[in-house]
Amino acid sequence: MPAPLPVTLTIAGSDSGGGAGIQADLKTFHAFGTFGTTAITAITVQNTRGVTGVHPVPIDTVRAQIRAVAEDLPPAACKTGMLATADLVRAVAASLREHRLPNYVLDPVMVATSGDRLLDEDAQQTIMEELLPLATLVTPNLDEAALLVGAEVADREAMRHAARTLVERGAHAALLKGGHLHADELVDILFDGREWHEWRRPKLDTTSTHGTGCTLSAGVAAGLAHGRPLRTAVEDALDYVQRAMRAAPGLGSGHGPLNHLVPGRVE
């Protein structure tokens, strides 16, 4: 009899363009050899050119989805993406605590790749208060980190300061994504409260960047579901995102999607 697949759960919005949100998460979960489940928080109307509509799912329905998964298909790891409002952030935090969901990766989605805002301003502090203390890992980009810590994050030293601040405020670990740095290389920094890890790679000349953050956080969650150490899960996910960007299919006329068909680490 085959070994059971680890179950992963994404609590996030649906992207009609298929490049980000739960669509990217499920493709990534599959690439990493886990069984993906979902709790959809919003239906977005979007493509590679931008977001033209956001339709929140009722909060009771979001909590019911989480409950249905947790009671029958207990996740070995989970992640959150687009949560939109402070009330939804509080409700999701309550569900994470109620069901004691392990290996929680917090992707604090605030702005789409196209620049469209996906989180109410009053929800930022709620994320810090309600979700950050539950997070095994928080994965902000530079803009998100600046909003969360209340200070500009524009260079490597500021990234380290923001990562330390997020851990001091409750996260078990913080991964600062340096894709928005004005430099010729990508710098990603992980701090777990004791040790620092840093990855540097040449920056790719591509517009196929839609869903990179979703894909990365889903890849980390999948690695944790397999029981891998946090550093290994992060490294595998970073590598997967890079390969998926290099193999991007060139779809759409805006910020195109990645190619999630590249293999993740499944052994």
Q: Does the annotation count 177 as an active-site position?
A: yes
CA-nearest of 108, 73, 114, 74 to 92 is 108
- Contacts (Cβ under 8 Å, ≥6 apart) of 216: 107, 139, 177, 237, 238, 241
Please give the Cα distance from 36 to 8 (Å, whole number).
Answer: 5
Active site residue 18: no
Mean pLDDT over residues 252-262, rounded?
A: 95
The confidence score (pLDDT) of residue 182 equals 67
Catalytic, out of 21, 178, 214, 219: 214
Of all helices (H) and strands (E), which one includes residue 35? strand 35-47
DSSP states of 186-241 as a string?
A: EEEEEE-SS-EEEEEEEPP--S--BTHHHHHHHHHHHHHHTT--HHHHHHHHHHHH
The amino acid at residue 1 is M
Mean pLDDT value across the chain: 94
Confidence at residue 179, expressed as pLDDT on a 0 to 100 scale: 76
**Over 80: is that where the pLDDT of 69 sits?**
yes
pLDDT value at 1 more than 80: no
* Catalytic residue chosen out of the listed positions 13, 17, 19, 213: 213
Q: Is 209 a catalytic residue?
A: yes
User: 7-246, which class in CATH?
Assistant: alpha beta
For residue 126, what pLDDT is reported?
95
Residue from 80, 126, 165, 212 carrying the catalytic annotation? 212
Active site residue 27: no
Active-site residue (options: 27, 38, 80, 177): 177
Instruction: Determine the pLDDT at residue 113.
Output: 66
Residue 147 in tokens? 């909003």
Cα gap 250→212, rounded to integer Å: 15
* Domain ranges (residues) in the chain: 7-246
| pLDDT tens track for 119-129 | 788 888 999 99
Predicted TM-score (pTM) above 0.85: yes
